[in-house]
Amino acid sequence: MRSLPEFRNQRLFTYKVAADRGSAPNPFGNLCTLAICKPSIRRVAEPGDVVAGFGCGDDSNRLVYLMVLEEAICWECYITRCSNDQSFRAKVPQGERDPGDCIWKSATDEQAPLPSWSGHGEDDFERDVTNGQKVLIGRQYWYFGRGDLYNARLPKKLEAIVPRGQGHRSNANAGFREEFREWFNTTLCNLNIENSGILGQPADGPGNRNESPRCGECQHREKESDAAGEEDISQP
């Protein structure tokens, strides 16, 4: 049975997934990647760290995904790998209804992104590439998506790890890491989840919607989330 390993010096990053389209994170191709959105996390996260994304509103205690970082590579490296490594080919979108996250053709020139379900346009280059700098990659991950197959919700005593606003928490989670790990592994047992990987479908994926994800309300919510930094460690 796959489980979350013991924390040592690794950090636990937590945030709310503003729009779960299957692009950020992208759990497909047997790899979980966070290449666009949440630049403040991507910029500083390192291999070994754990990233956990939760729902919004009444769903803010529901785990959308958890990833153990194996690599944190520059955007230029990601573009090259997606071009040359067969295992990363699924990350390159093949059309407007494809959630692939390798949407930028260059990490140095602001060009129009590849058509995709991400909802990102040319004006998102700065937050995706310039500000985010890195792409986070994990082969050990659990993606629950909209919770259609498994409903993993935090107990009251752990809800403090979920940011109150649109930012993220990491330093403030130091005292919760082991308790979170115990809860997560117990939840896997209780739900009879033996393998990691895709365990649900995206809430706003192309299979659940007909209209383009590039709507004003979604874009505003996502950009507001990306602009927020880390919550102060003094906050409960």
Whole-number pLDDT of residue 215? 47
Tell me what pLDDT residue 224 has.
57
Asked if residue 22 lies in contact with residue 34, where contact means CB atoms within 8 angstroms, the answer is no
pLDDT of residue 172: 96
The whole-angstrom separation of Cα 122 and Cα 27 is: 24
DSSP 8-state assignment for residue 36: S
Q: How many CB atoms lie within 10 A of CB 147?
A: 18
Phi, psi of 122 (to 5 degrees): -60, -30
Alpha helices in 106-176 (DSSP H): 125
199 assigned to some structural domain: yes
Structural domain contains residue 1: no
The number of C-alpha atoms within 13 Å of 165 and in the hemisphere containing its C-beta is 11
pLDDT of residue 217: 44
Does some domain include residue 5?
no
**Given this model, what pLDDT does residue 142 score?**
99
Residue from 144, 152, 125, 140 nearest 22 by CA: 144
**Local mean pLDDT, 10-residue blocks, the chain (236 residues):** 92 96 97 97 98 96 98 98 96 96 92 92 91 97 98 98 94 97 98 97 81 50 56 48
Total domains, the chain: 1
Return the amino acid letter for 53: G
What is the extent of the structural domain holding 21? Answer: 12-227
Task: Give the model's pLDDT for residue 231.
Answer: 66
pLDDT of residue 211: 55
Q: What is the pLDDT of residue 225?
A: 52
Residue 141, domain member (yes or no): yes
- Does 3 map to a domain? no
Q: How many CB atoms are closer than 10 A to CB 66?
A: 25
Q: Is residue 234 part of a domain?
A: no
Which CA distances in Å does 223 have to 27, 135, 154?
A: 21, 18, 26
